[in-house]
Chains A and B, each alone.
Chain A
């Protein structure tokens, strides 16, 4: 042992001598992070922008609980909180994840498009931004827009009036559509929506412009008509092939599938409002939108909205197998059918030329074709008296059919039921509000982290900064007044 001791001591001295000469490193270079790139080209950013935006919008809290549940297409069957208009603390903050998710990445794409003079990059970034800002403002009213996404140079962005946000979106979409150069450098990879087809991005830009134009039917029909005309002139979707569709994959499953199969949750059933409507109209989309009840494979049933304790879950249909049971279900951001419904309404309002009746029938057809319904069934459906176009009730019919076609598009569905009042949705018996909500409250954090701007925005919209969420939810947004 003593010999070992001596051996050890020799080793110690040798090691010390070695380190005495070995310590030579540049401290700054040691702190260079090897775990990620400092800069990345837009084709590698776009997939994340698309996917993170989609998971914010279709993620459980906003897209489903405050979109599909509030437009009464889907119901909550385990914890019926949002179904009763109870908002859990902090639960609306996810929607603001768009800012630090999809939006800031879209902004990075725009910035690189400008700095490298690559117009297609700038255009796609602007379209992505416009799509997300449109959803945000429709949900919440005034939002940080012109001062947003500026990082440390503005940590307290002021809120823009919703009208100003709309003006900005229209300008950005027009700019993007005009800049697109189909043969120029764009997205050889990373474009999960259109596989790099810039022509389709251009149609998406005009289709979004058309969507936002129709939203102004009450608040500013003049601008609405002008923008609708510009959109049609520029070229909107011409077929279901043009749909803005995010095709999920087995490895990147859609949010409805993930919630159930990855998250192990069984939180959602169909809403009785939608299921009963589809049944009343003999709608062939029913077995696609919904699954039969677990208790009886021949029965489709929804859960009535706003109940503390509803029917047994075995007697409630779940969301259709297309989304809930398949990881690679597509999520359609904007469809050809929606565009046709808007055109039908715009024609009915006299904003654009065209036959409302024909556009209405084309719209229903496009929606059914989207789900592969055979033409014979479509024709039979259209032939029903309750479906046939009637000029006297045209706007109501268009709105009802649009609401049906917007299934799985809770954010636009919730916007349209508020704007059109069709269908006439009523809160359930155990709901905390006496009418359906008219907006989503801002996240709780915002009142603390951006207090001055938040207080000003609430006041500007006729709300006390300390208003309870129920009061806020009852206050319409600008285009809904």
Chain B
């Protein structure tokens, strides 16, 4: 209904405002020279544009340009990355010196709806990230590439190859909703969903991370990225920008090579090795209470089903790995009284051999990853049109054996000035992701890292690498078959070190197969009609469509996973269509007062479908493969599982913004937007939200022209943003029950829905200052903000005795307060040498102000006994679990056997949010050589590390050697500072195994401090000699040595604390992360 009004509004606008008035004049040819203001060297490739048009050119290799300004156009802008944009009046000859600027205090920023604004006029913090780093330090994920680049941006990247990265600006504000910013490309929002740990492979065997969708964008196609951090910045994008927006402008032909063809290209290659692996012990092998003997790997021998490392000492013995008959020691006293039976050889999974350590048996599993990047872009433009075509391919043979990830990006951008009034722009991007054998991260037996936590430290990895299957004629194989009747002899028998739970990690990597692809098309087009020089109308249409296809082929005899084999096939399609229009009116109301009005509307339609089918390996389906190796649904022994899920959502919006610009030193912005969302009940589905802000350049207003303080701007703004919810949250439908003998069944939905949901509401305030000192040698941007989200829509757990497990409520308030600082300085600048420092620092406090009546804790997610919670009156993101019982003096209370007693109550053990985080970039430039180093890190915050928790339980970590320095239970371990329940000091020693296995009952032994510092990026670049490059036909050629994630200093010794469980709000949990790749490589790029 409302959609019908649009053409009407458009026509009304045309009629009412359709006056015109351009005075005819002659075109002007302008020539000139552009030089660096510090070195006075000619600058190549500076963009020269006739202001208010798309007409422009680039300076040539001598720094000269020629451009023709049409009649009525009176100024030119000169733009070059890293330099302050200059504007000059049109004249026959215009020579310009450009001044270096590390962080733009002035210049143009792309803000909401693709509107370009003078930076000095905006009333909120908007940080622009240079594409220079994006273009030279290759990273697979565009979001990961932003790490450390801007204040208040918190990014956690998955260590899975091709995995997702999560980005949060200014803290978590929604308890269960999306906390990530909106991604916008060339004015049109795109999808940034993640296939999370729960995303693929269905219910039971999930854990394939296909990456967050915004990570698909090729960094080489990006011209600039603006981070609009608060809700303030993004009011005009509506609900989804309540957490800020990442506004991406892509390159188009106007940037390069006017009047001819331009070719730019880059190639790069990197090698990847594990940055950090847990510290493993190498003194004790597999087994339990000092004994191990392999018969069938499934309990047929002595502790041969134990996937732990509490066995005999790894001293090279070939016999005596079990005790004399009848001895079964489990205490230090019994251990002293026992002796090994040296008449029994040490049987292992390969036969009899020395019982010895293989210290590299995890590291050697990983290959040296190889990544190759190639980018080629061709562009052409003339005075009326421009065009850019680019092709990029990234090919990664990852560290994980057999893993390969190929991404292909094809981008076509173009714009044309059809007439003096009508211009169009269009962009089409095709992306193909092709992933083969992604490592599973579900913490099941399919997950290689789980198999290294539950591991025997004596396992020789080369045997597993060189033997995929057992030889059926081997007597040991017959022994294994006898003890494992589930193994099917109609398929090869896998070679493994254990048959109760674990397939060999090589078997998982190379025999089991998974494939996934994403085909994606992002396209948008816009047409702008300028009625006159103060009124224009733009219509824009954008579509983001993609399909993920995931396939898992699980062979028969997958030990611990699915002995009967199976397959899982998921096809998922997501699309988002945005249609919008925007009228822009710009008038001078008074001689010193400019007025800009933007008014527009948008209609967005989201569609999603998911089609899953599987045999065996998902949703508890019990079918198996009848014929091994044939992966079809028809080959299932019983009915396959299948599911189709569809959802659709539409939001219609009308919005407007008004800007008053007084003498360009005082700006006031007003915005308003009304949304109509399909996801809310009719009585609540229309919601309006406004904003107001002001920017005051006091140095200009007060006429301050000091060289100490050369620029000063104060800004303040207030915003309210409404938010809707997901589709179908109002009315329950029956859930699918089991299919029994072909008949479907249904179950009452265990969630109580709420048919009276109201929109969520985020209110944000921010204030700040942008100051330039010493002629901008020192620039400080400081912002303080608060944002508060109320009426949160989320399901709270209810007592199951109600018949339901959760219900939707519309309550709760989360408040974020914080400070962001950006400091840019150039401590040294001489003719040949420049040293730039760029510091970002942010502190955010995220507090759960209230939940709802009666609820004081909301559990966002629970894993292995730890709950990630929102607790009333506490910071968001508490890690809640069980601690040991302590007495009043803080001693650990132990039971009679000397073991700590768990305290029954659930207590806060930590919080995943850091106290602060920041990054510092140092760039040293000497003539044509530059070195840039980016360090970033966080202070504070906790992670619940299942690697640590279970790695201790299983005795694989180095810290479990305490108490077995001499032998497996000698001298034994007395819990430090412990007392019995009656208060007497504890002196009872226990076997380390007994102690660490008892830690299963408390979660505190798994909590770590997440503070870290990383050398995130290092880049050493050389500009190749000018004359040489010109002879090759290019203007510049740069060779860079680059490194990513080079060094890690972490407070904990077990894992890289920068870890991402998935992209949901359940953060602060690590379970068997893959090692972060440390990558080192080069890039060579050439420009026309």
Q: Give residues in A with beta carbon < 8 Å to B.
A: 1-2, 4-6, 8-9, 11-13, 15-16, 19-28, 30-31, 33-40, 44-49, 51-52, 77-78, 86, 88-90, 93, 96-97, 99-101, 103-105, 107-108, 143-144, 148-152, 154-157, 189-190, 192, 249-253, 258, 261-262, 264, 266, 294-295, 308-309, 312-314, 327, 443-446, 448-450, 453, 466, 468-469
Given contacts A8-B525, A15-B525, A51-B737, contact A150 B803 (CB under 8 A): yes
**In the complex, which of the residues A21, A31, A148 has the most CB atoms of chain B within 10 Å of its own CB atom?**
A31
B733 at the interface (CB under 8 A from A): yes
Given contacts A28-B682, A155-B802, A444-B906, contact A308 B330 (CB under 8 A): yes
CB distance from B41 to the nearest CB of A (A): 33
Q: Are A9 and B746 in contact (CB under 8 A)?
A: no
CB distance from A124 to the nearest CB of B (A): 14
Given contacts A15-B525, A31-B679, A466-B905, contact A294 B299 (CB under 8 A): yes
Q: Are B527 and A37 in contact (CB under 8 A)?
A: no
Contact with A along B780-791 (1 / 0, CB 8 A): 000000000000
Chain A residues closer than 8 Å to B817, beta-carbon distance: none
Chain A residues closer than 8 Å to B854, beta-carbon distance: 155-156
**In the complex, which of the residues B299, B300, B425 has the most CB atoms of chain A within 10 Å of its own CB atom?**
B299
B42 at the interface (CB under 8 A from A): no
Query: Given A89-B902, A96-B801, list of 10 further CB < 8 A pairs?
Result: A24-B4, A30-B727, A37-B746, A38-B733, A45-B737, A104-B803, A151-B752, A151-B802, A156-B799, A250-B622
Q: Can you list 10 A-B contacts (CB < 8 A)?
A: A8-B424, A8-B426, A22-B3, A36-B733, A47-B743, A51-B745, A266-B299, A294-B300, A446-B799, A468-B904
Q: Are A445 and B733 in contact (CB under 8 A)?
A: no
B882 at the interface (CB under 8 A from A): yes
B196 at the interface (CB under 8 A from A): no
Cα separation A47 to B735 with both chains bound (whole Å) = 13
* CB under 8 Å from chain A, chain B span 1-43: 1, 3-4, 6-7, 10
Q: Are A12 and B1 in contact (CB under 8 A)?
A: no
CB distance from A95 to the nearest CB of B (A): 10
Chain A residues closer than 8 Å to B463, beta-carbon distance: none
Contact with A along B796-810 (1 / 0, CB 8 A): 011111111101000
Chain B residues closer than 8 Å to A27, beta-carbon distance: 650, 652, 676-678, 682, 685
Contact for A96 among B299, B486, B652, B800, CB less than 8 A: B800
The residue in chain A whose Cβ has the minimal distance to the Cβ of B579 is A19
Chain B residues closer than 8 Å to A51, beta-carbon distance: 737-738, 740, 745
Chain B residues closer than 8 Å to A189, beta-carbon distance: 743
B139 at the interface (CB under 8 A from A): no
Q: Are A155 and B799 in contact (CB under 8 A)?
A: yes
Chain B residues closer than 8 Å to A314, beta-carbon distance: 295, 299-301, 483
CB distance from A40 to the nearest CB of B (A): 4
Contact with A along B490-505 (1 / 0, CB 8 A): 0000000000110000
Given contacts A1-B389, A2-B382, A264-B501, contact A86 B1001 (CB under 8 A): yes
Chain B residues closer than 8 Å to A46, beta-carbon distance: 745
Q: Are A262 and B622 in contact (CB under 8 A)?
A: yes
- 10 tightest CB-CB pairs across the interface, nearest first? A48-B737, A23-B3, A12-B525, A36-B733, A9-B424, A313-B299, A104-B803, A144-B801, A47-B745, A450-B799
Chain A residues closer than 8 Å to B736, beta-carbon distance: 36
Given contacts A15-B541, A157-B802, A449-B799, contact A44 B562 (CB under 8 A): no
* CB under 8 Å from chain A, chain B span 465-489: 483, 486
**In the complex, which of the residues B486, B561, B746 has the most CB atoms of chain A within 10 Å of its own CB atom?**
B746
The residue in chain B whose Cβ has the minimal distance to the Cβ of A41 is B746
Cα separation A81 to B298 with both chains bound (whole Å) = 20
B229 at the interface (CB under 8 A from A): no
B414 at the interface (CB under 8 A from A): yes
Cα separation A19 to B188 with both chains bound (whole Å) = 15
Q: Are B6 and A23 in contact (CB under 8 A)?
A: yes
The residue in chain B whose Cβ has the minimal distance to the Cβ of A441 is B904
Cα separation A96 to B541 with both chains bound (whole Å) = 51
Given contacts A31-B727, A37-B746, A264-B562, contact A12 B288 (CB under 8 A): no
CB distance from A341 to the nearest CB of B (A): 31
Q: Are A249 and B418 in contact (CB under 8 A)?
A: no
Q: Are B799 and A157 in contact (CB under 8 A)?
A: yes
Cα separation A2 to B258 with both chains bound (whole Å) = 12
Q: Are A312 and B541 in contact (CB under 8 A)?
A: no
Cα separation A71 to B513 with both chains bound (whole Å) = 44
Cα separation A39 to B738 with both chains bound (whole Å) = 17
Contact for A309 among B300, B328, B649, B1001, CB less than 8 A: B328
- Among B345-353, B587-595, B637-645, B1068-1076, the stretch that binds chain A is B637-645
Q: Are B1 and A4 in contact (CB under 8 A)?
A: no
The residue in chain B whose Cβ has the minimal distance to the Cβ of A49 is B747
Cα separation A298 to B241 with both chains bound (whole Å) = 71
CB distance from A263 to the nearest CB of B (A): 9
Cα separation A155 to B800 with both chains bound (whole Å) = 9
Chain A residues closer than 8 Å to B739, beta-carbon distance: 251
Cα separation A23 to B7 with both chains bound (whole Å) = 10
Cα separation A364 to B638 with both chains bound (whole Å) = 37
B415 at the interface (CB under 8 A from A): yes
Contact with A along B63-97 (1 / 0, CB 8 A): 00000000000000000000000000000000000
CB distance from B485 to the nearest CB of A (A): 8
Chain B residues closer than 8 Å to A19, beta-carbon distance: 541, 579, 603
Chain A residues closer than 8 Å to B660, beta-carbon distance: none
Contact with A along B297-323 (1 / 0, CB 8 A): 011111001000000000000000000
Q: Are A40 and B803 in contact (CB under 8 A)?
A: no
Q: Are B802 and A149 in contact (CB under 8 A)?
A: yes
B646 at the interface (CB under 8 A from A): yes
Chain A residues closer than 8 Å to B386, beta-carbon distance: 5
B341 at the interface (CB under 8 A from A): no
B750 at the interface (CB under 8 A from A): yes
CB distance from B89 to the nearest CB of A (A): 30
Q: Are A294 and B540 in contact (CB under 8 A)?
A: no
CB distance from B422 to the nearest CB of A (A): 8
The residue in chain B whose Cβ has the minimal distance to the Cβ of A102 is B747
Cα separation A144 to B615 with both chains bound (whole Å) = 40
Contact for B527 among A13, A23, A446, CB less than 8 A: A13
The residue in chain A whose Cβ has the minimal distance to the Cβ of B730 is A31
Contact with A along B720-738 (1 / 0, CB 8 A): 0000000110111111111
CB distance from B174 to the nearest CB of A (A): 20
B191 at the interface (CB under 8 A from A): no
Cα separation A258 to B730 with both chains bound (whole Å) = 36
Chain A residues closer than 8 Å to B834, beta-carbon distance: none
Cα separation A253 to B416 with both chains bound (whole Å) = 66
Chain A residues closer than 8 Å to B483, beta-carbon distance: 294, 314
Chain A residues closer than 8 Å to B501, beta-carbon distance: 264
Q: Are B803 and A448 in contact (CB under 8 A)?
A: no
Q: Are B865 and A251 in contact (CB under 8 A)?
A: no
Chain A residues closer than 8 Å to B652, beta-carbon distance: 23, 27
Q: Are A45 and B746 in contact (CB under 8 A)?
A: yes
Q: Are B563 and A261 in contact (CB under 8 A)?
A: yes
Q: Are B746 and A36 in contact (CB under 8 A)?
A: yes
Q: Are A45 and B747 in contact (CB under 8 A)?
A: yes
Q: Are A258 and B622 in contact (CB under 8 A)?
A: yes
Cα separation A462 to B807 with both chains bound (whole Å) = 32
